[in-house]
Structure 1
Amino acid sequence: MKNIFSLIAVLFLFSSCGSQNNVVDVKAETTVVSTSISKTGERPKLLVGIVVDQMRYDYLTRFDAKFGEGGFKRMIGEGFNCKNNHFNYVPTYTGPGHASVYTGTTPKYHGIIGNNFYDKENKEMVYCAQDDNVKPVGTEDKAGLMSPNRMQTTTFGDENRLFTQMRGKTIGVSLKDRGAILPAGHTANAAYWFHGKDEGSWITSTFYVNTLPQWVTEFNSSTSAESYLKEWNTLYDISTYTESGSDENNFEGGFKGKEKATFPYDLKVLSKDNRGFDILKATPYGNSLTTDFAMAAIKGENLGADNITDVLAVSFSATDYVGHNFGVNSKEIEDTYIRLDKDLERLFNYLDATVGKGEYTVFLTADHGAVDVPAYLQSVNVPAGYVDNKDRKEKFNTFLIETYGTKDIVENISNHQIFLDRAKVKTLGLNLIDVQNAIAMEQLTYKNVSKVYTANAMSSTSFSTGVEELLQNGFNQKRSGDVILVNDTAFISYGRTGSTHGSGLNYDTHVPLLFFGKGIKHGETFNKTIIPDIAPTMSALLGISFPNGATGQPLGFLID
């Protein structure tokens, strides 16, 4: 009889799970092991969302031998691993990434089309979390002039607040303001970010509170930040770091005041030439400091202390700073992830002790991946390189003057987009679509430009595959440009040292997606999942409304 019921359960599972992209079947090699750790109908006391900035999926497998049992491996061993998880839009930047994880949709709908982007209405570049109508709290610096006002849809944290009549708390924590603010959403109790320089304090804005809570003030008064201004050497013998390149090479940036980008680094000495406490952001200690503060937030805000679900959004930003500085194949990035694994273990152990093992749920993903340093790829004969923006600009200006008699027809070029002065186009008696098409054809002739698309094409044609689909999912009619450029594979507009991101290629789109804790089954899948699936999945787990602009689908096969 027991075997019959088991068979029925398996048949039910295979007949009822997944969306069109996430169907659970034998062919897709999905493994689900039912390991219920919660009673039916009960919600987790605390839902913790973790975004690791610039984490490629292959870091999970590449550094696996160096990880302990309590961090990444605990999530995989006890939870669910979505091995083929991707961003389904371009551009893959930090602001759009964090917004998409928590809103369950893409820049097409939530409106965060870049970290900085051109405001077509006010004719100026704006920052994704900028808000000049608020005041800083915890500092007098303009670093506190931030809020989620530019994000146009709700997060699952917002929906949880609405569902619980504002009794469920939401707190955002990150070294980066956008990494704390966008995930926390519009109704958050607070979002806190780290202001370095000569202050080394966690700050917020009057969008949330008028004064810092006592626990934040006490944390800022402690020596926590200062304690990390110490030597940064590899956690283990550097000779064992065989998963990364040589310590001394030509592909890393390093710190001012140190001739070579090699271990060890005396952070206290180097901080004088590297913006004081800001140096911590580009070391694994930035993640350790974030962990310290996240645990202080759990205690200070009593998160997970009752049966009304709270949400804690934590973004580990140091990984991104290290990657930009040293590159994805560096000893520094390997050590950073080894140490992040220890910080995750520390956080999970703290959750076990305070909220209770089996009483909280965690997901972990990234806001984007990163490209190998093109100069390194060139050295091993992989096609890659750097875009010559000066040459492009000169050729483009010549084309504009020869074709239209003026270069003023272009208002702005940013984020691989060309914005036209539409009033100027009209004054010259030109057809907007014709101008878009002509510029697109011209740009396509330039070196290392792979593809070019117009706003008209993005608005009038429905794409369902390839980079065209990704571009369309990232295209916001009110905010995006008139012409969109796509560079050749692994060709970037960046310095010759360090890694960057932003494309729709696998090195930027393929990122981890791990779930574990209350309500999560144990298993893994190679089925494709996408970033916008995360928020609807968390909403389904909590039994609340999906974020109001969500386009992703709940991953039902991993919910217990």
Structure 2
Amino acid sequence: MFRPFAAALLLAAPALAQEAAPPAKPPRLIVAIAVDQFSADVFAEYRQHFTGGLARLANGVVFPSGYQSHAATETCPGHSTILTGSRPARSGIIANDWVDLKTARADKTVYCSEDERVPGSSSSSYTVSPWHLKVPTLGERMKAAAPATRVVAVAGKDRAAVMMSGQNPDQAWWWGGKGFVSYVGRAEPSAVTRANAAVTAGIAQAQPARDLPAFCRSRDVAVPVGGGKTVGTGRFARAAGETGKFRASPEFDAAIVALAAEMRAEMKLGEGAATDLLIVGASASDYIGHTYGTEGTEMCLQMAALDRTLGTFFETLDATGIDYQVVLTADHGGHDLPERHNMHGITEAARVDAGFSAKQIGEPIARKLGISGQLLWGGNFGDMWVDPKVTGGKRKRAMTEIARALAAHRQVQAVLTREEILATPGPKGPPETWTLLQRARASYVEGRSGDFVVALKPRITPISDGSKGSTATHGSFWDYDRRVPILFWRKGLTGFEQPMSVETVDILPTLAATIGLKVPADEIDGRCLDLDAGPGTTCPAP
């Protein structure tokens, strides 16, 4: 897409031979990559087929059972854990959006990356801001310790760039619908100007169907999802000007990664007096997963393309001679569409019942108790809020009725109340052993989270109709949404695999140790992961 990166985009980078001794000096550049909706299951499924950048990382230090350990497995909270070392209960980022019934503005929904203090802001038309992020990021800590550090973020979503870069990055750019945009008032670097021109020209050209690799052919099965719509056989053909299809395709990640490479070159990241941080939020897998599911030709082609794109990116970095450290993980996993699960004998997989929502659960209870207005707010899972204007004995009766009605629904696994969640200590130990209450506690913020947190049963997709918009999603308490790979690579670092569970909050202290940055243990939830394959350690002494 861009010079000279674009010319090599179709090439795959081989995994480099690795030396026995770990590097002694801090890297000059940290590259932190988040692949949106890259579950541990998808990584394991395609790992044998990687030959480019993902193959290089898979031959590094591999933690195949990383956990976004909290219950709210969505994009914003997931990205907030990666470079803060903090779970959502500490970071304040409980979901992509939440309900604030006490706000005076008409729009009661708050978006995680908005500053609702700006006049006229709404959850759909907002000023992007890290206002809601309550903890410092790795980049902020690096800058505080070494002001010469540069922090640059490039992502497909504003919330990915914001939650990983935090306050006052040197540059933060994300896809704005027609091109890459940034915070209000930010001057556009020449790399972004070139990127936007190239993307505009690319979208204006029709794209033919992609060739299907041999290992993708078994996935070429049409799956009906209702309304005459099928998924599972797509190859990313699109007409000229189809911006939506561009975003839900491998083209999108190619543009994001190419801009990241251009920004590195323009700002000479890794060439200064201090270690720099380059953040990349690759968002296409999420749009593809929502649109087509995770098991068709669409995701197969996406994984093959992302592997090539990252391979070329790493080759470009190799050519600079810079000593760089890579970490790659995901903000959450994903659940394939129930229709395909049913075809494979997973008969308990289903869509949520049409009409099951907080509003519809609350309406008959409000009538029964003589309560005017909407009583219960939220969706059909996750946080639900009771109107704070309902008080006293009437509120107590309403809470009891709501809990009973929610628990009686055939697709609900658990209804957790504010009181019992707050009474649960912060979770410790292996994340796969946490109870549902502990998982909810890791996501819960008093004054922001709901009066109830509802967990649907495993394999229930909270989309009632797959023929309109998304066919599949994520966001559950269950491990198919919680488990993600965590991969580290650096030239000279001996690769190994640790199959035991770790958490994405462990990434910040691990990278901090790599560059000798001290982070007080009581300020984060994560722990340092030892990247030394032998008896030595890359972690500081306790």
So what's the TM-score if we normalise by structure 2?
Answer: 0.84
* 2:335 aligned partner, one-letter code: V
| Distance in 2 between residues matched to 1:80 and 1:103, nearest whole Å | 21
Contact 1:253-1:261 at 8 Å conserved across structures = no
Give the C-alpha shift of residue 422 in structure 1. Answer: 2.5
Residue in structure 1 matched with residue 339 of structure 2 by the alignment = 375
Give the C-alpha shift of residue 496 in structure 1. Answer: 2.4
| Distance in 2 between residues matched to 1:132 and 1:539, nearest whole Å | 33
Contact 1:53-1:94 at 8 Å conserved across structures = yes
Residue in structure 2 matched with residue 508 of structure 1 by the alignment = 481
Deviates more, 1:495-504 or 1:466-475: 495-504
Residue in structure 2 matched with residue 496 of structure 1 by the alignment = 466
Give the C-alpha shift of residue 501 in structure 1. Answer: 0.1
> Does 1:159 pair with 2:159?
no
Residue in structure 2 matching 1:363, options 305, 327, 330: 327
> Does 1:451 pair with 2:433?
no
Residue in structure 2 matching 1:406, options 368, 371, 380: 371
| Distance in 2 between residues matched to 1:397 and 1:294, nearest whole Å | 49
Give the C-alpha shift of residue 261 in structure 1. Answer: 6.9
| Distance in 1 between residues matched to 2:228 and 2:282, nearest whole Å | 20
Structure 2 residue ranges without an equivalent (≥5) = 1-17, 428-433
Matches within 5 A, 1:545-556: 545-546=518-519, 549-556=523-530
* 1:364 aligned partner, one-letter code: L
SS of alignment partner, residue 501 of structure 1: coil
Give the C-alpha shift of residue 491 in structure 1. Answer: 0.8
Residue in structure 2 matched with residue 19 of structure 1 by the alignment = none
> Does 1:89 pair with 2:70?
yes
Deviations 1:229-266 (A, max 9, x none): 442533444x54145251x33149999xxx98744544
Deviations 1:276-310 (A, max 9, x none): 43431100010111111011110111111124111
Residue in structure 1 matching 2:508, options 525, 529, 535: 535
Residue in structure 2 matching 1:337, options 295, 303, 315: 303
Residue in structure 2 matched with residue 188 of structure 1 by the alignment = 169
Give the C-alpha shift of residue 62 in structure 1. Answer: 1.7
SS of alignment partner, residue 104 of structure 1: coil
| Distance in 2 between residues matched to 1:131 and 1:450, nearest whole Å | 34
**Structure 1 residues 391, 80: CA separation in 2 closer, same or farther (over 3 Å shift)?**
closer
Residue in structure 2 matching 1:423, options 373, 384, 389: 389
Give the C-alpha shift of residue 543 in structure 1. Answer: 1.8
* 1:292 aligned partner, one-letter code: A
| Distance in 1 between residues matched to 2:201 and 2:387, nearest whole Å | 49
**Structure 1 residues 490, 475: CA separation in 2 closer, same or farther (over 3 Å shift)?**
same
Contact 2:505-2:525 at 8 Å conserved across structures = yes
| Distance in 2 between residues matched to 1:480 and 1:132, nearest whole Å | 17
| Distance in 2 between residues matched to 1:396 and 1:366, nearest whole Å | 35
Structure 1 residue ranges without an equivalent (≥5) = 1-32, 136-141
Give the C-alpha shift of residue 181 in structure 1. Answer: 1.5
Contact 1:95-1:182 at 8 Å conserved across structures = yes
Contact 1:374-1:496 at 8 Å conserved across structures = no
SS of alignment partner, residue 171 of structure 1: strand
Contact 1:280-1:286 at 8 Å conserved across structures = yes
Deviates more, 1:50-59 or 1:370-379: 370-379
The alignment's C-alpha RMSD in Å is 2.7
SS of alignment partner, residue 364 of structure 1: strand
**Structure 1 residues 240, 362: CA separation in 2 closer, same or farther (over 3 Å shift)?**
closer
Paired-residue identity, %: 25
Give the C-alpha shift of residue 55 in structure 1. Answer: 0.7
> Does 1:214 pair with 2:190?
yes
* 1:375 aligned partner, one-letter code: E
* 2:114 aligned partner, one-letter code: Q
Residue in structure 2 matching 1:201, options 176, 179, 191: 179
* 1:201 aligned partner, one-letter code: G
| Distance in 1 between residues matched to 2:292 and 2:165, nearest whole Å | 30
Give the C-alpha shift of residue 185 in structure 1. Answer: 0.9
Give the C-alpha shift of residue 554 in structure 1. Answer: 1.0
Residue in structure 2 matching 1:475, options 402, 420, 444: 444
Matches within 5 A, 1:5-154: 35-38=20-23, 40=24, 42-68=25-51, 70-77=52-59, 79-122=60-103, 124-131=108-115, 145-154=127-136
Q: How many residues align?
A: 495
Deviations 1:371-399 (A, max 9, x none): 12112222333111122251555454223
* 1:325 aligned partner, one-letter code: T
So what's the TM-score if we normalise by structure 1?
Answer: 0.82
**Structure 1 residues 54, 442: CA separation in 2 closer, same or farther (over 3 Å shift)?**
same
Contact 1:254-1:326 at 8 Å conserved across structures = no
Residue in structure 1 matching 2:223, options 235, 244, 249: 249
Residue in structure 1 matched with residue 7 of structure 2 by the alignment = none
